[in-house]
Chains A and B, each alone.
Chain A
Amino acid sequence: MPAVVWLVVLFVVPLVIMLSLSLKTCNPASGACTMTWNWGELPRQVNLYRTEFFTSLEYGAAATIVDLILSFPIAYWIAFYGGRKKNFFLMMLLVPFFVSFVIRTLVWEFILSPSGFFLTFLRHAHLVSANFHVLGTGSAVIAGLAYNYLPFTALPLYVALERIDRRVLEAAYDLYASRREAFMRVILPLSVPGIFAAFLLTFIPAFGDYVNQQILGGTSSTMIGTVIQNTFLVTGDYAAGSALSVVVLVISLIGIWLYSRVLGSRSIEEYL
């Protein structure tokens, strides 16, 4: 029973508030909202911020793919060769994330700034031109997202690889599979649920993220998270903000629905 109470208070109630807000009409000046069953707000917001939605999809997907490529070897190495120090290596992966999300991103801004040591070094080494910059570009946002969400990719991958029975791998070798074939035919297929879980866990928060775009992206191109934040906190239009949030939620749910269709809903629970 207490679990149900928690679920209602922390999950159902806010969700209902957000859904109903998205159908209301608000007066930004007074902040008062009245229910007008304004279904038109959803498509209107999608149309209005189509570019930002696509930018978010693009950055989120790019960051997720970068994370998958970076994490797979890390997770693979820890799972198969970590030995008794597995937990230590996993801890190492997580240690940077004990620092606040915003501070970590601000440090990246410092590192990547034109006067920062990284670019200064590259300029002095004549590897980049004098006016080369990283901050304020889409690449900086993708890099920031990839950095901030790396554990969300690495951990599910690790779980998937860790649970592969080593004897199954021996069976593959026994049945004439070379190392490459064993990887392609056994390890990779068996880690698919983990790859999918990692994709969802990384993509969903990266898609809705606004911190990285605001700190590292400057005015280059806006992500939907920033739009939602501005709509709520700058414009004060709660109805429009809620409508945008609902759209983000629906896009995420489609991803989860696809996952459960392909791999079954049980495997979601196992990785979360």
Chain B
Amino acid sequence: MTGGTGTVDEASATPEASATSRPVVARFDHVSMVFEGNTAVDDLSLDIYEGEFFSLLGPSGCGKTTSLRMLGGFEEPTRGRIFLAGKDVTFQAPYTRDVNTVFQSYALFPHLDVFENVAFGLRRRRTSKADVKRRVGEILEIVDLPNFERRRPNQLSGGQQQRVALARALVNEPSLLLLDEPMSALDAKLRRQMQVELKRIQTRVGITFLYVTHDQEEAMTMSDRLAVMRHGRIEGIGSPQEIYDSPTTEFVATFLGASNLLAGNVTGVEGSIATVTLTHGWSVRVGVGRLPEARVGTPVKVGVRPEKISLGTGAAAPGSDHNSLRGRVKVSTFTGVGNQYLVEMPWGTDVTVYAQNIGEATAPRSGEEVVLTWPIEHTFAVRPMASGSTEDETNTGDNDE
């Protein structure tokens, strides 16, 4: 769960605001997919813009892979339309579509060597021999596998196989590249390496990437934009920073990074600031724009990310632009880069706090009374999720680290 803070800054550095002015490469138009009575994808509408690295993020069974497979032509939607470059391709066979896929298990042709694997698509398109040779050579250079032409897939490591799968798809210069959890078979270290590599390759070739993953860190690190999916629907969409800082649903707040969520009701709205009284009488303030509904009486959960909270030991009075709560440190864990605290609120709820290890002399110890303060601007509010349905799903997000 420590991936959150470090990756946000990297993501915010990539320009993405201009995405909406670019042409649409792929469009889901009210697409639903019902499979044996289960709704895998539920009324999905989504535009993917040219040149962007877009991720579909969600737990297993959320419909992300089904959505990708419908773009690839391997599944037909039950309802709705799918467009590629403005053309309706809903019922077109995969081999007629200008997209290529990097499969989860790579699905390399075991009877062909690396060169022939990569050349497969070019040969089906009757590319001239000289062109095939040149383009395969170029792409193997880009994925850093020169001199591997005559190897068989079973003579390659997992990481190398993945590069071949990537090269095999990219060499065709599709208008859209679909990647179906391509890193899931790699170990953690290699995965991190390939994330950087994949981003580099995407920037270099300029092809639109649609990336499907259940790993929130992976999605945040690489994406220009991402959509969080659950139960076949999109729960949140935007740049990684937007989604991380301003989650719009409880699910997004807990699936993407860690969140402290406190249940309460809106009890007052003054100008741009609303007051939320927590279930046990304490209150916090939140920007009106962050509320799902700016009406007194609305039940909400107010949230704050663990790294946004600072801990004080004295009776520090918070400024007018800060929220403040009191609690007692229950568990204090030193993690090297910082300390992780579990602070128990007077009413029994635990709040997680991350403090960076920047050489401060006294870290609060277990049992100590502390004051938690954080800026109002870092406070968000979401509509409470229907009870009982959160646990299993939110955990899957955390386990991927």
Contacts and interface: CB of A to CB of B under 8 A. Distances in A.
A39 B234 CA distance: 83
A192 B110 CA distance: 13
Given A171-B103, A175-B168, 11 more contacts: A167-B105, A168-B109, A173-B93, A173-B95, A174-B72, A174-B73, A174-B101, A175-B121, A176-B125, A178-B95, A181-B124
Contacts of B129: none
Interface of A: 165, 167-168, 170-178, 181, 185-186, 189-190, 192
A190 B95 CA distance: 20
Contacts of B93: 173
A176 B101 CA distance: 11
A174 B94 contact: yes
Contacts of B148: none
B95 A170 contact: no
Nearest to A178: B95
Contacts of A175: 95, 100, 120-121, 124, 168-169, 172
Interface in B99-114: 99-101, 103-105, 107-111
A192 B111 CA distance: 10
11 contacts: A168-B108, A170-B74, A171-B101, A171-B168, A173-B95, A174-B74, A175-B100, A176-B95, A176-B124, A189-B111, A192-B111
A192 B104 CA distance: 26
Contacts of A190: 110-111
Interface string B237-267: 0000000000000000000000000000000
Nearest to B172: A175
Contacts of B169: 174-175
Interface of B: 72-74, 93-95, 99-101, 103-105, 107-111, 120-121, 124-125, 168-169, 172
Contacts of A189: 111
B121 A170 contact: no
A73 to B, nearest CB: 22
> A-B pairs with the 3 shortest C-beta distances?
A175-B121, A167-B107, A176-B124
Contacts of B172: 175-176
A177 B110 CA distance: 16
A174 B111 contact: no
A168 B106 CA distance: 8
A171 B74 CA distance: 10
A192 B93 CA distance: 27
A168 B109 CA distance: 6
Contacts of A181: 124
B205 to A, nearest CB: 17
A170 B74 CA distance: 8
Contact of B124 (A167, A168, A177, A192): A177
Contacts of A167: 103-105, 107
Contact of B103 (A170, A178, A186): A170
Nearest to B74: A170
A176 B99 CA distance: 10
A168 B110 contact: yes
Nearest to A186: B109
Contacts of B72: 174
Nearest to B98: A176
A20 B172 CA distance: 64
A241 B391 CA distance: 77
Contacts of A178: 95
Nearest to A173: B94
Nearest to B126: A176
B34 to A, nearest CB: 20
B121 A165 contact: no
A167 B121 CA distance: 16
Contact of B105 (A165, A176, A185, A192): A165
A272 to B, nearest CB: 21
Contacts of A185: 120
Nearest to A169: B107
A171 B169 CA distance: 9
Contacts of B121: 175-176
A170 B94 contact: yes
B323 to A, nearest CB: 51
